[in-house]
Amino acid sequence: MDNRSMKKIFTCTALWLCLVFSLNAQESSENLLNKFTHFSLSDADSARIIQAKIDTTSFNTEQKIRYQQSLGRVLSLENKYEEAVAVYIESLKSIPENASFAKLISEIYDDIGSIYNSNLKDFNLAETYYLEALKVRQRFKLNSELGMSFYSLGTIAFRRSEHYKAIDYFKQGLNSISGESQLSIAANLNYMTGMAYARIADETDPAKLDSAVTYLKSAKGMYRAMGNAYYEGVVTMEEAGILLQLGQYAECAKSLEQILSNDNIKKDIKMYIRIFAQLSIAYEGLKDYKRAFEYKRLEADSFRVELSNNRLSSIAQITEDFRTDKQLDEAEATAFFASRKARIFSIVVIVLAIVLVISYLIFVQTLQKKKLENLQAMVMGEEQERKRVAKDLHDGIGVLLTSVKLRLSNFEDKVDDKKAYQDSLQQIDNACTEVRRISHNMVPASLTKLGIEEAILDLLDNVKASTQIEINEDIQVEEGLLAEEKEVLIYRIIQELINNSIKYAEASTVSLSIKNLSNEVKITYKDDGKGFDKSEIKAGIGLKSIASRIDILKGKLNITTAPGAGVQFDINLPLYG
């Protein structure tokens, strides 16, 4: 092979290697730019690390514009909003206005509008840039992105309380959408349209509430189709609020209870609080006061959890701030007071430990006291409600039924069917008896008139008369020894114990002993029922009710039981304190 051939082969090989290295370098730059673009949406630190590796000298026009757009987004994440706007505007100056770059131009206008809308709160400038984005998309027929422009403009109008204008934008956005690929923006547009109609109804026309419900239902269905359970729950709560205004309580309750089992919603305690509040109002509207009260209690419990979480977070933040300050102090002490470092450090650690221990003890004590106070308020509130309902039953419905019976008696001679007439009177008598029974169960008259001992004996007599259970009682309570509130709580404890024996234990014999000793009241309750596994004690609502009342009375409870071996409750309640 001659020298000329060797030279030609060498030249071709060199050119090929240069081409390969050039392509690899270009691919590497493109990959880095893609990563920079990805992190610029959410992680400024990672984006800066990638940016440091990028060489923009080899970028073409499209890559340079993408780079500047990503840089603007990173500056926005770093709260450098004016700098971000300056970068965006500079990039717009170098972009050719043609179909190839129309998508990038409209996105940059959107980014500037978002900064003025969400961060700088200049809605006029935000609207200006959103309109520019819309013009670009309309000019170059970017129909798949028109919905986003109309959504952004509608949001600006909504924030300004220009609700009719917002509805017009949102509807234009909905009309521009076609196909399931735009389901997400369609769901958002339906949601905001419903919210705008709700605002108009509040101001001028309540009939617009029906339109609000229609659009919210559409949004909810779309979020469900996308599997976005969280936003499905958010829309459902907004819809529920409007249904409450319309008086559609049953539909509201059904809709809210369907989302309670959603895992995404359970993680958000604030959403739980709002759902429970709306359900309480709905069931109050349906006259189901028991369920309304239960959801109101769940709302209060959730609210207390929220307060507790916030308090713990605050304590953690204060502790962290204290640690940071302490580290700075130690650094200064190391520099200027090296000879005293060990002594000062020891003193600080001891003081900090003492402060933290004392703070923790105070916090735990306060939390327990607050919990007991809330529990007591809830139970006593329940008793007050029982008294009110019992009084309403006795004085209202009872008197009304008696009056009806007396008036019917005047028509006895005018009625042909005497048997049907007597049956009707008997049904009224039965209703009167049932009202008296319910009223007596809610607030026994014997408890307020004769005291705790006679009230319990009366309760046991009723159980003996209505069941086959044999009851052995030994009740020795000194009259007037206990305050009325304590007597009510003890009566409810005994009532709940007997109720458990009748409903669940299948007992044939019950023994009850109540004795007041020198400084306490001792209650021993036994039945020969089927017993239960103590590990399952937390699952029983009745047992929780008993334990709650004993806690309010600052007493002690001991349960002895096993499956098939009956149960014994030993309760010790202090007379004072």
Token pair of 351 as six digits: 């003081």
Asked whether 386 and 443 are in contact (CB, 8 A), the reply is yes
pLDDT (tens, 9 = 90+) of the chain, 577 residues, equals: 555 555 555 555 555 455 444 444 444 778 888 888 999 888 999 989 988 888 888 888 888 888 988 999 999 999 999 999 999 998 888 888 888 889 989 999 999 999 999 899 899 999 999 999 999 999 999 988 899 999 999 999 999 999 999 999 999 999 998 877 789 999 999 999 999 998 887 655 667 888 888 999 999 889 888 888 888 888 888 888 888 888 889 988 888 888 777 666 555 678 888 888 888 898 888 999 888 899 888 888 887 877 777 666 555 555 555 555 555 556 555 656 666 777 787 788 888 888 888 888 887 777 766 666 665 666 566 666 666 665 555 556 656 666 666 666 766 666 767 677 777 777 777 777 666 666 656 656 556 666 778 888 888 888 888 788 888 888 887 776 777 777 788 888 888 888 888 888 788 889 999 888 878 889 999 998 888 877 766 545 567 778 878 888 888 888 888 888 889 999 998 877 6
What single letter denotes the amino acid at residue 466? S
CA gap 532, 559 in Å, rounded: 11
Beta strands per DSSP E along 395-480 = 470-476
Report the number of secondary-structure helices (H) and strands (E) in the chain. Answer: 22, 5
Q: Computed over its alpha carbons, how large is the radius of gyration of the chain?
A: 38
Q: Looking at domain 446-574, what is its CATH homologous superfamily?
A: Histidine kinase-like ATPase, C-terminal domain (3.30.565.10)
Identity of the residue numbered 251:
E
Q: What distance lies between CA 114 and its chain's CA centroid?
A: 29
Structure tokens at 484: 């009325």
| 3-state SS track over 485-529 | HHHHHHHHHHHHHHHHHHHHHCCCEEEEEEEECCCEEEEEEEECC
Where do the structural domains in the chain lie, given as residue ranges?
A: 446-574
Q: Is 286 helix (H, G, I), strand (E, B) or coil?
A: coil
Contact 574, 519 (CB under 8 A): yes
Alpha carbons 240 and 255: distance in angstroms, whole number: 7
Instruction: Locate 120 and state its tokens.
Output: 């700088």
Q: Which residues pair with 574 in a beta bridge?
A: 520
Of 487, 485, 489, 511, the closest CA to residue 498 belongs to: 511
Q: How many CB atoms lie within 10 A of CB 72?
A: 26
Compute the distance between CA of residue 279 and CA of residue 563 in angstroms, rounded to an integer: 38
Which token pair is 32?
Answer: 């880095």
Secondary structure in 3-state letters for 351-381: HHHHHHHHHHHHHHHHHHHHHHHHHHHHHHH
> Cβ distance 361 to 346 under 8 Å?
no
Phi, psi (deg, nearest 5) at residue 179: 90, 160
SS3 assignment, position 328: helix
